[in-house]
Each structure stands twice: as structure tokens, then as C-alpha cells.
């Protein structure tokens, strides 16, 4: 959890912490979005699939971190916080769609040998 989210943290500090997690999540989502189309192509190696798994896990870990930060937030019903939550939920839905597409593409093809 973010050091800004200590018990008794201010609303502003908690908002900043939520936005920071959201920013990290957007970055992880964009990396995942850029990686999924490579599945089934020339760059689809076992090492690439391992890194794709790491990206997916990063997205899941950030979702858990966001949930914990939201639970620790002193003003969850604040309109600003609700906007951050809605934006994060939309990002999560899109990330879930990407992960589902990745699973389908992984099942449709085998990774290429790195030496090939």
C-alpha cells in the first residue's frame, strides 16, 4: 500500500495515492494492450509469453492495491473519488477484455522457439 495511505491520512493525500495507482494501472494496461497483438506472430516466444503473464499479474496486483487504497480513503463518497473509481472500473473492464483476448490467442497458437 502507498505510504500516503497511513491511518489518518488527509483526503488530498489519499486522492493523490489513488491517482498514482490509477496512473500505474494505465501504464500497465497500455503495455498489455501493445503486447497482445504479438501473440501468434514472429515475436511470440516462451519468454514473451512469460513477460505477458507478468504484465497480466501486474494489472491484477494494481487492482488489489487500488481496492486497499480505496478502503483506506477517508472520503470514499466524495465526487472526486467516485470519478476516479469509475475511471478505474472502466480501465479494469478493458484490461479484462485484453486478458481474455490474450488467453484466446495463446490457446490458438504455440510459442515459437527463440532460436528459430
Question: Exposed e or buried b for every residue in 36-63, given b needs 16+ CB within 10 A?
Answer: bebbeeeebbeebbeebeebbebbeebb
pLDDT in tens, 4-62: 455 566 888 889 999 999 999 999 999 999 999 999 888 889 999 999 999 999 999 99
Identify the domain containing residue 49 by its residue range. 11-108
Residue 114 lies in a domain: no
Residue 29 lies in a domain: yes
Residue 33 lies in a domain: yes
Find the angle CA(7)-CA(61)-CA(83) to the nearest 5 degrees.
Answer: 65
CATH number at residue 104: 1.20.58
Residue 31 lies in a domain: yes
pLDDT in tens, 62-101: 999 999 999 988 888 889 999 999 999 999 999 999 999 9
Amino acid at each position: 500500500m502507498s505510504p500516503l495511505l497511513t491511518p489518518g491520512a488527509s483526503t488530498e493525500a489519499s486522492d493523490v495515492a489513488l491517482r498514482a495507482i490509477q496512473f500505474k494501472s494505465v501504464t500497465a494496461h497500455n503495455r498489455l494492450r501493445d503486447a497482445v497483438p504479438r501473440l501468434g506472430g514472429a515475436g511470440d516466444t516462451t519468454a514473451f509469453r512469460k513477460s505477458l503473464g507478468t504484465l497480466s499479474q501486474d494489472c491484477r496486483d494494481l487492482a488489489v492495491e487500488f481496492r486497499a487504497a480505496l478502503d483506506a480513503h477517508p472520503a470514499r463518497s466524495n465526487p472526486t473519488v467516485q470519478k476516479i473509481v469509475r475511471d478505474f472500473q472502466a480501465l479494469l473492464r478493458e484490461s479484462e477484455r485484453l486478458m481474455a483476448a490474450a488467453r484466446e490467442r495463446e490457446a490458438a497458437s504455440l510459442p515459437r522457439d527463440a532460436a528459430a
